[in-house]
Structure formats: structure tokens, C-alpha cells
A and B are shown apart, each in its own frame.
Chain A
């Protein structure tokens, strides 16, 4: 297929349409508005439904409703809007509903700014709403991955019957680069949605989608079932990219757009003869614990780089469990605080010494 020159946000929209998503509900916010703009133009041509809802809260609950009916549906927003959606995400998690939530992060807290940020890591991977749940979290770092991981997110959400989040930021959202679109192929073993409330159609069974469980022991059993799925995800769905870890003295780790800056810095360090490797989690939940544990056997030190003041570093430290020292470098996001490869190289040298 021909290579296109596409903006990251548009690649998300293209991937969603290709994956058969025909329902979108959202409310505009920078820096993700290219997603609803593209979908509002293209989805109706495919017979789909685009709704610019009256609020973020309305749109997440429309997503809940559409998913309960068994269709592929999505919403997208940016950090402050995603905070508003947390109640609905918790209800979706509790109701075991699939569905895609795209967060093209901006800086915070509060309205913050519109620059690239990774400060929503905790909110995304630790269950941003109430009740002790998790959702699948994927972190693309190129325009191609914005497209590919959008498709994967729908598949994983359907397979595990839980919400999936695509966690990007203003860099991967606004950057334009080459994209090779490809036809979506649905995995042949995706379960049919026997639980969907799509009308009885002559069936005698009653289907109920709910997150309220009041019977004695009922809710505990429900929660254990959810947690068993998180374990399955950890066993089967971890995705991670590594570069030159085998002979590395120092492993630098980062996700999303920070990983791009880190990769260039690591390449510069290698050119200077420093043995530097890179670990880039693609799934943030499930987190690539085993990859870090394995690297911890051979490397002398790790350095975690994030576009925030230190969040994923906590999960890296838990993964290596004291086996190696894990240093951190990051700056609170905002206008002018995006680090450069040169800046990361200085940090690499500091920790290689």
C-alpha cells in the first residue's frame, strides 16, 4: 500500500474506522480535536454515527450504552476531559464493557496547558476512577502505531470484555509522518458478544449489563473474576520493544513520545562508545514486568525518562524489586519543557560514569 503523510491524531481516526468502529461520542478539546474532526467527516459516509455530545460525561455514558449493545464504539479526549470521564470508565469496568477511550494528554493539573505530557500515567494504569479496577493501556510512539494500536485496542477490549485506553500526547498526536494503512483483520477467535443487550430476538434468556452486585458474596466473586482477567492480560498480552539490552551497562526506559527522544539519545551514546540499551513498554497495563526483571540480571543501572515528575519509574522499581538502581529524569510538562535528545544524553553520561 502507498505510504501516506498523516498526522498522529488522524491515524487514530483512520485505524478506528478501519477496525469497524461505527459509533463515536466526544466533546472537543486540544490537542486531540483532529480525531473528532476526521471522524465527523468520514464516519457518516460509512453509515456510522458521530455525536458531539453536550459534555465529556455524556459522551462516556453514550459509549457505555453503545458498548452494552455490542457494537464497536469509542470516545476521545485530553486530560481534563478524561478526568471527567472517570466515573463512566469505572462503570464500564464494573459492567465488563469493551470500548476505546483515547487520551491525547495535555499538561496539568487542572486546565494546565496544551503541551505534551505523560502526567496521566498513574490515572491510566492504576484505575482512574473508583473501585479498584484496571483497564488495558496502550502507548503508541509513532503515527504508524497510533493506527495499529487503535485496532489492537478494539480487539483486546472485545477479547477481555473491558475498556481499553490509547494513551498518547500532543507530540504523537500532532506529529506528521509516514503511515502505511493496511486492511483490518479481525482475529478469528474473538468471542461473540453473548452478553450484549441487543433485543431478545426470540431468545428466552434475559441479559443484564450492570455494575451493581448486592447479593451476599456476589461482588467479591465479581471482583475476583475481574482480577483473574488482569492476570491473564499479564500472562498473554504484554508488548514491549527492546534495543541493545543484551550488552548494555545502562538501560534507559521510556514510553510514548519520550521513548523517541530516548532512542535518539541512546543512539548518540552508542556512537560515543557507551553501552546503552532501551526498553520501551508498548502496553502500560499489562506492564512488561518480566522484561525489566530479565534486564536487571545483566545491566548495572536503569534510567527512567518521562514527561512528568516521575510516575512509571515506580512500576519499574517494583518490577526490578531492588535488584538494580533505577534513576529518574523528567520535567513537569508545560510550554518549553519538552526535553531534547542532547539533554537526555547528558543524563545518560551521568549514569554511565
Chain B
């Protein structure tokens, strides 16, 4: 069983941290996983994306043309990647910053619209948007248990940032509650 997850947004939204976290949680669960960040001249505000493959077999290609699970954090990434979601796939959209253009609605995928940036602000900081989106994703697609994601978070965050763990946990739960 292989689950491919693609996340895209702008630099500063924590896309790479969310992908890194998901892959690390999977490895801690005894699964195989790869985390491949789009590697370019990225910067805060620029385009950022990553692909995570989770599997109980061998991770083959670290990239996917038509991913089955897609998390879109802003309009630019929605315009580019919404059409590429695999038929029958799952697409989470941050509706605070992105909307599906008139007439381009797809009925062959499972789309979940979530005001993730607004929810993150409500949870204390707009930068929690990645945890809101990831929480909703984990609730929808149980590729790894939420408990595994939470315990992995302490592993990927540097010690000095561990004081932020509770608000990140809360954001994960807020996302899960809306899924």
C-alpha cells in the first residue's frame, strides 16, 4: 500500500515542515517514506512544495505526476495543481486564501474546503496553517495515526521551539475537527 501526498503553497506557510513531519512520523511507525522538497531558489513568499511517499514496500519514485492526496495552501498552487489531482483522489484546499475558479469544479475527486489560515489565526498564529491542514488531512486519510504525528513533532522541531508544541497540537486537533 502506497500513499502519495503533495503539498504546495508559498514560502513561510510551513509546507516543508509539514511534509518532513509526515514522512518522519511514518518512519517512526515502521513504514518507509520519502520527503522530497521542490528544490529551487525558494524564499519567503515564493512558491514552495514537497512530495511525501509513504509505503509498506519500497519507495520508488520520490515524485508523482498525478498525486492521490493533495494539500493546496494558496491560489497560485490551486491554479497549478488542482487539475493534476489523480481521479478519485483527495484534495484539501485552504479556502482562506484559495478558491476554485468558476466552472472548474471537479466532481471526480473528493475536495475538502477548509478556512485553514483563519482557523490558524484563531488558534493563535497564522503560521499554524500547516498544522491545521495536516490535522485535517490525517483525520481524512489515516496514513499514520494523529498520535504518531504529535510525537514526531517533538522530533522535528528544535528543542528551543518545544514551547510551541501545545499550540501546534491544538492546531492539528482544530484541523481534524473540521475534516
Chain A: residues with CB nearer than 8 A to chain B? 3, 5, 31, 114-116, 142, 170-171, 174-178, 257, 260-261, 263-265, 267, 335, 338, 340-343
Contacting residues, chain A, for B60 (C-beta < 8 A): 260-261, 263-264, 267, 341
A342 and B65 contact, CB distance less than 8 A = yes
Contact among B32, B37, B39, B41 with A178 in the assembled complex (CB-CB below 8 Å): B32
| Residues B9-41 near A (CB distance < 8 A) | 20, 23-24, 27, 32-37, 39-41
B36 and A171 contact, CB distance less than 8 A = yes
CB within 8 Å for A5 and B66 given contacts A174-B37, A341-B61: no
Contacting residues, chain B, for A261 (C-beta < 8 A): 60-61, 63
What are 30 contact pairs spanning A and B, CB under 8 A? A5-B23, A5-B35, A114-B39, A114-B40, A114-B41, A115-B39, A115-B40, A116-B39, A142-B59, A171-B62, A174-B36, A175-B35, A175-B36, A176-B23, A176-B34, A178-B27, A178-B33, A260-B60, A260-B61, A261-B63, A263-B58, A263-B61, A264-B61, A338-B63, A340-B65, A341-B60, A341-B61, A341-B65, A342-B64, A343-B65
Contact among A114, A260, A342 with B62 in the assembled complex (CB-CB below 8 Å): A260
Q: Is the interface of B mostly helix, strand, loop or mixed?
A: loop
**Minimum C-beta distance from A168 to chain B (A):** 13
**Minimum C-beta distance from A126 to chain B (A):** 28
**Minimum C-beta distance from B163 to chain A (A):** 23
B32 and A177 contact, CB distance less than 8 A = yes
Most chain A beta-carbon contacts within 10 A, residue among B32, B33, B61, B66: B61
**Minimum C-beta distance from B19 to chain A (A):** 9
Nearest residue, chain A, Cβ from B156: A5
Most chain A beta-carbon contacts within 10 A, residue among B27, B39, B41: B39
Nearest residue, chain A, Cβ from B34: A177
**Minimum C-beta distance from A256 to chain B (A):** 12
B40 and A176 contact, CB distance less than 8 A = no
Bound complex: CA A257 to CA B66 (Å)? 19
Contact among A5, A170, A267, A342 with B39 in the assembled complex (CB-CB below 8 Å): A170
Bound complex: CA A178 to CA B39 (Å)? 20
**Minimum C-beta distance from A35 to chain B (A):** 15
**Minimum C-beta distance from B33 to chain A (A):** 6
A175 and B61 contact, CB distance less than 8 A = no
**Minimum C-beta distance from A172 to chain B (A):** 9
CB within 8 Å for A177 and B59 given contacts A342-B65, A342-B66: yes
Nearest residue, chain A, Cβ from B37: A174
**Minimum C-beta distance from A65 to chain B (A):** 34
B27 and A3 contact, CB distance less than 8 A = yes
Bound complex: CA A184 to CA B8 (Å)? 40
**Minimum C-beta distance from A106 to chain B (A):** 10
Bound complex: CA A342 to CA B23 (Å)? 23
Bound complex: CA A333 to CA B65 (Å)? 17
Contact with A along B134-161 (1 / 0, CB 8 A): 0000000000000000000000000000
**Minimum C-beta distance from B47 to chain A (A):** 11
Bound complex: CA A115 to CA B62 (Å)? 15
B39 and A31 contact, CB distance less than 8 A = yes
A335 and B61 contact, CB distance less than 8 A = no
Nearest residue, chain A, Cβ from B52: A176
**Minimum C-beta distance from B59 to chain A (A):** 6
**Minimum C-beta distance from B3 to chain A (A):** 14
A177 and B23 contact, CB distance less than 8 A = yes
Contacting residues, chain B, for A116 (C-beta < 8 A): 39
Nearest residue, chain A, Cβ from B40: A335
Contact among A115, A177, A340, A341 with B33 in the assembled complex (CB-CB below 8 Å): A177
Contacting residues, chain A, for B24 (C-beta < 8 A): 5
Contacting residues, chain B, for A115 (C-beta < 8 A): 39-40
A340 and B61 contact, CB distance less than 8 A = yes
CB within 8 Å for A176 and B63 given contacts A3-B27, A5-B23: no
Bound complex: CA A52 to CA B53 (Å)? 36
Contact among A3, A31, A114, A340 with B64 in the assembled complex (CB-CB below 8 Å): A340
Contacting residues, chain A, for B65 (C-beta < 8 A): 340-343
Contacting residues, chain B, for A170 (C-beta < 8 A): 39
**Minimum C-beta distance from B29 to chain A (A):** 11
